[in-house]
Structure 1
Amino acid sequence: MKNFLKILSVDEYSITPKYLQLVNSILLAIEKGEIEEGDVMPSINDLSYALDISRNTIERFYNELKKSGIMRTVPGKGAFIQKTDFDRPLKLLLLFNKLSTHKKIIYDAFVTTIGKSAAIDFYVYNNDFDLFKKIITEKVKLDYDKIIVVPYFIENEDESIDVIKLIPREKLVIMDKPVPQITGKYISVFEDFENDIFNALISLLEPLKKYDQLKIVFPSGTYYSNGILAGFKRFCAEHSFDYEVIQSLESQNIEIKTAYITVVEDDLVHMIQAAKVQELEIGKDVGIISYNETAIKQVILNGITTISTDFNLLGAKTAELILQNDCKKVPVPFTVYHRPSL
């Protein structure tokens, strides 16, 4: 019997479910000629014990192989590889900076659009440069068709760009945040932060005119793009608004006749609580604009005004360009939802 323990591997750092990692290992082994038709698979119990992985996970792994036609089972004889002549799926390495509601929307749209055309190894580096560097330097040597990076870093931004440059341009895909320092021909689907907030505020110009000044709450040490501040300041300068950039609302009273833009959810909550304590009417005495659309913002306080990218489109468009192998750089525009908070 072939030694499948040398073929099958699971990376504990990967977010990809273990059963899919095992499927991907089989596909890679078939591609390399390490597995042939007629090879006998270990029993579920034996493989579960040998890999120290739950029996349920091995069952899901085997069910995926059977659904794809790669493996068949014969009662009383076991499981066999029956098919090795299939179209090779794309091999993708997907790196997210963190998990969040919006990242899940991007991920789901990406995976749905890619469908069965790709095997995805999914990692989350938690805005940690050292972990990001470790993953890239180890994985860039492997035979991935595309390496998709969501590049947000609180520190070591210059060093992180040097790490991204290790990825061959024909394999590189930048998602969500542009990296203009990296030149050449590669896929990029991104938020154009400066122009997006500028144009969003232009569309809200009439309701903003009832406020004397604008303030944006932009915490220090955030990974949000400084392009947001550049677009905000440009709008205020061109339309003669007094403005202020503040790092936190915690030590400040909410000022009347002021519209506030919050990019972090905690600041939105603090803004609402502070306005309530000061007995200020939101949408009249003070205005609120929040970054990124969520379902709850549609209903609290009869609706919070938001400016938000289309996260579904971002994920789907990235997958679309990968399937077409079309090395374009495509901005995904913001959508403005004007509601009673402004």
Structure 2
Amino acid sequence: MPETIKIDHESQIPVYKQIVGQVEELVRSGEYPDGCLLPSMNELSAALDISKETVKKAYSILRNKGFIDARQGKGFYVSAAGVADKLSVLVLFDKLSNYKQVLFNSFAEEIGDAAEITIRLHNQNVDLLEYYVEENLDLFDYYVITPHFPLDAASQKRVLKILTRIPNRKLIMADHWMKELPGNYGAVYQDFANDAYEGLGYGLKKLKTCSRFNVVTLPSSLYYASVGEAVERFCRDNDIAVEFHTEITPEIIREKEVYLILNSQYDLGLIELVRRARELNFRVGRDISIISYNESPINEIILNGLTTISTDFRQMGVLVARMILEKSLSKVKCDFQMIRRNTF
């Protein structure tokens, strides 16, 4: 059996990862059937002229993934049917906010028992992304990544280079599509440059009656420029007065005006806006209106119902799961909508 495993010593892929990838393929193809005895660590290390520690590391990973098991005194063998047949998916999220939790939950629910899911957070840190990709290259069947990183040219170039290490057939971008990356990978995304325009359109009738539309955000937000431009274009096309603010002061809280919070509901902007409004005895939903960017379940409760414009994160998770289950990757834009509640 050792002769069916080949090592390419010229490859940049670590030897233990080559062993893991090949054994997985041999199990899935049936060449290594259920219950098949694998070579011992000594046998394989001698046959491939590699260290026993390298084989030990590969076998450990294969055991953790459910492809092989060990019996005292008998060695390593292919696990029972059904365990190794499961797909392995590495999910690399930038953060686990409420709406990312919705995305993940719908993904996990849709994919069900067909896959083993491992989740890690890269925190929009390119170095951390590189570490996770390098450490897990060729160890998973699919890599689902939310590629939210600083938008400067150097960072974006690094991210693209890192993502090219992952085979197209295994890569799915979620929430953001880096169109500069060529290939037939999957992407389930929102369009930051245009979605806000579409979402605000659902509230156009009321927005036309307000005296001013105020946008509250931090310039440090990754997609401030794209979303802000879409909002500005919407207001210009519909003859709506608009102002952009980077901080909440009493002077900007004015009756009969609408406020869009571009960051999530946990940002200080929303809290400070409501606090200032209450100091002026303004009631949200009656005296001023508030819209938040990005939907999550808690918005049903905040302020007796917080109106949002948002991509459909539940749909996003379902679509990513279906691409994996159907082994058919494509680029799909998620629905974007306004969910009207008490605040608007």
Mapped to 1, the partners of 2:113 and 2:302 lie a distance apart of 39
Mapped to 2, the partners of 1:211 and 1:173 lie a distance apart of: 41
Give the partner amino acid of 1:257: K
C-alpha deviation, 1:172, in angstroms: 1.5
C-alpha distance after superposition, 1:129-176 (max 9, x if no partner): 211121123323x24322211011136234223322332222221111
Output the CA distance in 2 between the equivalents of 1:298 and 1:335: 15
Of 266-275 and 221-230, the range deviating more from structure 2? 221-230
Q: Counterparts of 1:82-101 in structure 2 under 5 Å?
A: 83-86=79-82, 88-101=85-98
- Cα pair 2:27 2:78 within 8 Å, conserved: no
1:316 maps to 318
Q: 2:212: which partner in 1?
A: 213
Partner of 1:193, secondary structure, is coil
Please, which runs of 5 or more residues in structure 2 have no aligned partner? 1-19, 39-62
Do 1:192 and 1:331's aligned partners in 2 also have CA atoms closer than 8 Å? yes
2:149 corresponds in structure 1 to 153
How far off is 1:339 after superposition? 2.3
Report SS of the residue matched to 1:240: coil
Residue in structure 2 matched with residue 291 of structure 1 by the alignment: 293
Q: Tell me what 2:222 maps to.
A: 223
SS at 2:343's partner residue? coil
Q: CA deviation at 1:35?
A: 9.8
Contact 2:88/2:142, CA 8 A, preserved across alignment: yes
Report the CA distance between 1:213 and its aligned residue. 1.6
Instruction: Determine which of 327, 330, 338 is the counterpart of 1:328.
Output: 330
- Name the SS for the 1:276 alignment partner: helix
Q: Which deviates more, 179-188 or 157-166?
A: 157-166
Distance 2:139 2:301 in 1: 47
- Equivalences, count: 289
| 236-245 vs 191-200, greater mean Cα deviation | 191-200
1:128/1:82 CA distance change after superposition, 3 Å? closer
What is the percentage of aligned positions where both structures have the same residue?
Answer: 27
Distance across 2 between alignment mates of 1:283 and 1:137: 50
Contact 1:194-1:232 within 8 A present in 2 as well: no
Greater mean alpha carbon deviation, residues 142-151 or residues 234-243: 142-151
Which one-letter code corresponds to 1:221 in the other structure?
S
SS in 2 for 1:157: helix
CA change 1:162–1:143 in 2 (3 A) is: same
Q: Residue 310 of structure 1 contacts residue 333 of structure 1 at CA under 8 Å; is this kept in 2?
A: yes
Gapped runs of 5+ residues in structure 1?
1-23, 40-60
Report the secondary structure of 1:236's partner residue: helix
Distance, in Å, in 2 between the alignment partners of 1:28 and 1:250 is 59
Is the alpha carbon distance of 1:294 and 1:144 closer, same or farther for their aligned partners in structure 2, counting shifts above 3 Å? closer
Moved more, 182-191 or 148-157: 148-157
Deviations along 1:258-288, one digit per CA (max 9) or x if unpaired, are 2110022221121111111122232343221
Q: TM-score, normalised by structure 2?
A: 0.72
Offset at residue 37 of structure 1 (A): 5.4
2:136 corresponds to which of 139, 148, 151: 139
Deviations 1:154-203, CA, capped at 9 Å, x for gaps: 36234223322332222221111121212321111111233321111111
SS in 2 for 1:216: strand
The correspondence of residues 1-342 of structure 1 with structure 2, limited to 5 A, is 31=27, 36=35, 83-86=79-82, 88-140=85-137, 142-154=138-150, 156-224=155-223, 226-249=225-248, 253-264=252-263, 265=265, 266=267, 267-342=269-344
Deviation at 1:124, TM superposition (A): 0.9
